[in-house]
Amino acid sequence: MCLAIPGKIVELPPEGVLNGDARTALVEVLGVRRRVDLGLLRDDYPSNGDWVLIHVGFAMSRISEADALDQIRMLTELGESQAAFEEVSGYGLDDIDGGRGG
């Protein structure tokens, strides 16, 4: 199943610091913290605390907090929160704190 999962940006790189060709941010999704590529959001660059939709390690778009919480609630109600957890855990980008925020 392909999921676009909402995540909250908890840490952006310092201004001017590039990781390869694109910037990455530390994003929390369902209690898991991972590095996510922000290269697709260069025209609508997020700030700390913003919510983004993530797919396979890439932030695809910014979304409102209300929309993010609605989507998380829907994933939980549909029993898909474990699939979302597995999706974000499998990104293979910097493992932060063993996969758990903290």
- Position 20 scores a pLDDT of 55
Residue range 48-81, pLDDT digits in tens: 999 999 988 899 999 999 999 998 888 888 876 6
pTM for this model (two decimals): 0.73
- Position 52 scores a pLDDT of 96
Q: What domains, with CATH codes, occur in the chain?
A: 5-96 (2.30.30.140)
- Position 18 scores a pLDDT of 54
- Model confidence at 99, pLDDT cuts 50, 70, 90, reads very low
Q: What is the 3-state secondary structure (H, E, C) of the chain?
A: CCCCEEEEEEECCCCCCCECCECEEEEEECCEEEEEECHHHHHHCCCCCCEEEEECCEEEEEECHHHHHHHHHHHHHCCCHHHHHHHHHCCCCCECHHHCCC
